[in-house]
Amino acid sequence: MRLIKTTPEIDFFTADTTYDLSLPLAEGIKAGFPSPAQDYIDLAFDLNKELVKNPSSTFYGRVRGDSMVDEGIYDGDILVIDKSLPPADGHKAVCYIDGEFTLKTIRIKKDGIYLMPANPAYKPIKVTEENDFVVWGIVTYVIHKF
């Protein structure tokens, strides 16, 4: 519903019909106590659906190291990586550089591309032509076990 007009006594709304919510229809109401959960099985949360928007292009990776701890990414965490997303400034990307996968924040500056760590103990990496470099996928979620 959307508010379209307000008078001192009544608020007028218009119905939003752009989506529908199906509610179960109770057939033949009986005495006794029916299971209230019966008709709601499909309404349960599905983490897969939430975390994996593009199943064909989503892969998982395991974090090794501590260069991203200030972003809350720790050793042993699981990365949800979507290969279909185009890389952009500020994205956390799994990159393949000089023979290994690494995760950093991409910074696109005037003088080139930088891979930014999130730990003062590490220095930013400037990507040069000498590097064997490819952005492998964009990290969309991090799964951390406490």
Partner 1 sequence: MFALADCNNFYASCERVFNPSLVGRPVIVLSNNDGCVIARSNEAKALGIKMGEPTFKIKDLIEKNNVAVFSSNYTLYGDMSQRVMNTLASFTPDVEIYSIDEAFLGLHGFNYVDLLDYARKIRKTTMRNTGIPISLGVAPTKTLAKVANHIAKKQPQHQGVYMIANEQQRVDALKEFEIGEVWGIGRQYRKFLARYGVNTAYDFTRMPAGWVKQHLSVVGLRTQRELLGIPCIDLEHSAPPKKAIATTRSFGEMQTDLGYLSEAVASFAVSCAHKLRKQQSVAQVVMVFAHTNYFRDDLPQYSASKTVVLPVPTSSTLELVHFALIGLKSIYKPGFRYKKAGVIVSGISTNQHIQTSLFDSVDREKHNRLMVVMDKLNDKYGRHTVKVAAQGAGRKWKLRQERVSPMYTTRWDDIITVKV
Minimum Å distance from CB 122 to partner 1?
9
Cα separation, 48 vs 51, whole angstroms: 5
Instruction: State yes or no: residue 60 binds partner 1 (CB under 8 A).
Output: yes
Residue 110, sorted as left (phi over 0), alpha (psi -120 to 50) or beta, turns out to be alpha
Our finding on whether 80 is near partner 1 (CB under 8 A) is: no
Interaction residues for partner 1, span 17-56 (CB under 8 A): 42, 54-56
Sequence-separated (6 or more) residues with CB below 8 Å from residue 24: 39, 40
- Out of 101, 107, 140, 141, the only residue in the binding site for partner 1 (CB under 8 A) is 101
Query: DSSP assignment, residue 66?
Result: S
Residue 135 interacting with partner 1 (CB under 8 A): no
Kindly determine how many residues on this chain lie close enough to bind partner 1 according to the rule CB under 8 A. 32
- Minimum distance from CB of 83 to partner 1 (Å)? 6
- Binder among 11, 51, 62, 126 for partner 1 (CB under 8 A): 62
- The answer to whether the CB of 52 falls within 8 A of the CB of 80 is yes
- Dist CA 51 CA 110 (whole Å): 34
The residue within the footprint of partner 1, chosen from 39, 65, 114, 131 (CB under 8 A), is 65
96 binds partner 1 (CB under 8 A): yes
Q: Are 102 and 115 in contact (CB under 8 A)?
A: yes
- Token representation of residue 121: 């103990």
CA 72 to chain centre: 15
Active-site residues: which are they?
Answer: 67, 104
Residues in contact with partner 1 by CB under 8 A are: 42, 54-57, 59-68, 73, 78-79, 83-84, 94, 96, 99-104, 117, 132, 134, 136
